[in-house]
A and B are shown apart, each in its own frame.
Chain A
Amino acid sequence: MEVIGKSVIRKDAAEKVTGRAKYTHDYQTGRILSCKMVISPYGHAKIISIDTSNAQKVPGVRAIIAGKHYPLTGEAIRDRPPIAVEKVRYHGEPVALVVADTPGQAKTAADLIKVQYELLPVVNSPTQAFQKGAPLVHEHLGEYKKEEDSHPVPGTNIATLYKIRKGQMDKGWAESETVVEASFSFAPSDHAAMETRCATAEIKPDGTIIIMTSSQAPFMVKRLIADYFGEDMGKIIVHTPLVGGAFGGKASVQLEVLAYLASKAVGGEPVKLLNSREEDIITSPCHIGLDATVKFGADRNGRIRAAEIRYLWDGGAYSDKAVDVTRSGAVDCTGPYDIENLWCDSYCMYTNHPYASPFRGFSHSELSFAIERTMDLLAQKLNMDPLELRYINAIKPGDTTPTRVKLNKSNVGNLRKCIDKLKELFNWDEGIIKEVNKRYVRVKGVSCSWKTSTIDSDAPSGVILTFNRDGSINLMSGVVEIGTGTKTVLAQILAERLKMDVDNIHVRMEVDTQTTPEHWKTVASRGTFMGGRAVLRAAEDVIQQLKEVAACVLKAPKDDLEIADSRVFLRDDPSIGLHFKDIGYGYKYPNGETIGQQIIGRGSYILRHLTHLDPETGAGKPGPEWTVAAYGVEIEFDKRDYTYRLIKACTVVDIGNVMNEKAALGQVMGAMSMGLAFAGRETFYFDELGRVLNPQLRTYRPLRYGENPQYVVGFVETPQLDGPYGARGVGEHGLMGMPGALGNALSNAAGVSLHHLPLIPELVWRAKEAAKNASI
């Protein structure tokens, strides 16, 4: 292959290193009003009154919106008023909007709005939410509009339940000689993309609604605003320029709705709403929390015979995408292991926490922590090497998934090969614990993961190709450039197929929903797979059209023609042929007569055979393919104060085929960095009123330069036959195994079993003290 696999320089490189790359907030043409939110200071409270009288007097204030009933919003369940009415359900919830001439005026006025609250009892964890008699987050759960496969239970805090029932549990437990059971939990956290979310909205006199937003889902913004407010879908145009990091957090639709309402309140004038960092962390949707209980039974050879799993996902105050995360958690509930007898309940719970959007890995990094810690506990009890236990239970072709999809050599990667390669790259044979001196030890932990992408069964991806007069090609796809470099990879796929120079392919970075063909959402590591398939189809379309004109001019049958280097030529004599620039807009004979026409290539793709899940057993096909990976983390642990340093982190992932080496490494290592931060430090600290105590980047601390370990990445390449050039999704997978591997390393180091995130020294100290007290 000529272009695939090469570290082709990203198409967005020049503008990104010169400050010329523009993000939503950078667009400022003409007059644009500023919108500022007033947010709830409490987790759960009744709104007694809202006094806007002083705010109204601030010069420049154009509108204040508060206490108004709008249609309820939400995805699987319509449970969320865009602006709170009657009560607030989470700290940070929008309570009022101020629109003013300048950001300063809007802020001044927002600060003068006096809201009186009456505190209500707070639901502060999904476990508490699950208890009988818990305070209710939604009193009228039965009255909400919802999608068919959501099953909220009125009178409880259950937003939905997905069940997996496979095999025979009695048989499984009977065959199990060794049983382990453990519980795990962690609170919600944040994506912390560097660009805070931003949306602008304008309503033109003819009713056209123009929105610009930092979103992974501009096409969903269009659909939902049309649906929520009865607007004509064709009159909504959503623009998304470059997006400054997303990680799932920008897949939910929230600020766009508020900006639309704000614009409407001022007669359609353009309005901008930009999250402050604090709002971005608590007001906009966060990274989901989880309380999990896992029970595994294994026979004397270490084969897992039975598993009983309960996930209580912390969906927060509104269900939004948490319902889908809960479903995804059920679909791959066991981790990448073949378990014949399986029982899993995956609940989406309402709490008084900020609500959840997807987070890179979409339930998999979270459930992997619970599963992989349990695997280590099982290995310990069986007195078995933890990687060996994973190896013998590894999922493989011929096995079925929890939802009973039969796996084959194409739709699942080779986990055993990943484990073998990990052993080598991670020097597994040198042992788990290595003493440095009396105080420090170097300790290793491992884990595995898998993931399919549970996207809508009819999710589309489209591509349009047009020609320039010089024969170069423009590539337009609805994939949003959120940082992953996917659009560069799409250009590589096209260059490979047309055997042309990738520099002669121009990629449109921005998306607008009026002229760009839809790519459902830029989520779930589907950009390369689906966008790539659409590119291949568009390339095929272009090839046929080019050959048609060339065949006529060259007086040769189409099937005697080849395409390479931006030319169509005779197979047996490449010197006879035509350049794209001579046929891209039809061929003009010397006398002026022209044949053919402007060539426009189109390609479109929808995943095949995806189905809904059976409500009682979970049976069904939720996703196209499973990427698998194996991981290791090595730490240096201080036995005196329980602090530790990250030494080395290793991921071996079956990527199918490496499309762009440096970009792929960047995706995997960047995801590992995020996974280590999630595992080791990032969490929301809540007080008893449900307030998030650390909504700033100094108290909520992502990894910084120099705190990172050495990264080692290995690729296994088992082609996925349906993927473009065999590629598998890989954007999320580096992250997923980090919490489990770090948790296992630290548990090994401290000699206590750790069951919570983040893995901070205080957690180790608490576990050590608890173990000490238990033994007294």
Chain B
Amino acid sequence: MASKTITLHVNGEVRTITVRASDTLLFALRGKLGLTGPKPGCLNGDCGACTINVDGWPMKSCLMLAVEAVGKEVVTIEGLHDTPIQRAFVEEFAFQCGYCTPGFIMNCHSLLKQHPDADDRIIKEWLESNICRCTSYIEIEKAVKSVLRKEEPGG
């Protein structure tokens, strides 16, 4: 199968890699760039463990081809440093095994940016795309809401 050399913008860096046309972005991030934060869980968009941000929006990287990411700003969990949502996940015990955590955090991070005043309905709409098998989701809800409160004007 034909390979192609592409240039990607990932976590603020410019990276050039060679991929097959059929390689998913998840496969390229993990296999070619060594970014193993995004996790494979189902490879068909059901579980959300591979969620990253593309141009500020959450994207399941198993549902996107690597070649489709050219010209876009890609952020993986490795691109977040000491953000409020990461701190909240630690404080609220919003992870256990940690496998779904990078995907959940990327989804939450994007949610907080796009909807700094999200209500319960919006939070549910966003977060129901990821599966966590360890926690009860209450911990994740608390983590998200603790950041929302802090980001409220004057709050």
Contacts and interface: CB of A to CB of B under 8 A. Distances in A.
Interface in A2-19: 7, 9-10, 12-19
Contact of B97 (A22, A104, A482): A482
Given A17-B105, A482-B97, A196 B41 contact: yes
A255 interface: no
Given A16-B95, A242-B97, A697-B41, 12 more contacts: A9-B90, A19-B35, A19-B36, A194-B133, A276-B43, A662-B92, A665-B93, A666-B96, A669-B135, A670-B136, A706-B124, A706-B137
A708 interface: yes
A21 B98 contact: yes
Contact of B137 (A195, A482, A698, A705): A705
Contact of A670 (B42, B44, B96): B96
A243 B136 CA distance: 19
Interface of A: 7, 9-10, 12-23, 25-26, 28, 104, 192-196, 242-247, 274, 276-277, 482-485, 662-663, 665-666, 669-670, 672-674, 696-698, 702-708, 711
Nearest to B95: A16
B32 to A, nearest CB: 11
Interface string B26-42: 00001100111111111
Interface residues on B, range: 35 or more
Contacts, number: 166
B98 A193 contact: no
A242 to B, nearest CB: 7
Contact of A696 (B35, B46, B91, B95): B46
B49 interface: yes
B101 interface: yes
Interface string B43-58: 1101101000000000
A247 B99 CA distance: 14
A411 B32 CA distance: 54
9 contacts: A9-B91, A13-B90, A14-B90, A18-B37, A19-B36, A20-B37, A22-B36, A194-B133, A247-B133
A674 B96 contact: no
A33 B7 CA distance: 27
B61 interface: no
B44 A711 contact: no
A17 B95 contact: yes
A665 to B, nearest CB: 8
B137 A703 contact: yes
A705 B128 contact: yes
B77 A194 contact: no
A276 B20 CA distance: 20
A697 B135 contact: no
B117 interface: no
A708 B132 CA distance: 12
B44 A696 contact: yes
B134 interface: yes
A707 B140 CA distance: 13
Given A25-B40, A697-B46, A705-B137, A485 B131 contact: no
Contacts of A242: 97-98
Given A18-B78, A662-B93, A483 B134 contact: yes
A465 B54 CA distance: 45
Interface in B1-31: 1, 20, 22, 30-31
The 10 closest A-B pairs by CB, nearest first: A19-B37, A483-B97, A244-B99, A19-B77, A16-B98, A669-B136, A706-B124, A483-B96, A697-B46, A26-B36
B127 interface: yes
Nearest to B1: A104
Nearest to B77: A19
B110 interface: no
A274 B95 CA distance: 23
B135 A194 contact: no
Contacts of B41: 194-196, 277, 697
B86 A17 contact: yes
Contact of A666 (B31, B36, B93): B93
Contacts of B35: 19
Contacts of B70: none
Nearest to B93: A662
Contacts of A9: 90-91
B46 A244 contact: no
A19 B91 CA distance: 17
A194 B47 contact: yes
Contact of B136 (A13, A17, A673): A673
B137 A19 contact: no
Contacts of B73: none
B31 A28 contact: yes
B138 A697 contact: no
B101 to A, nearest CB: 5
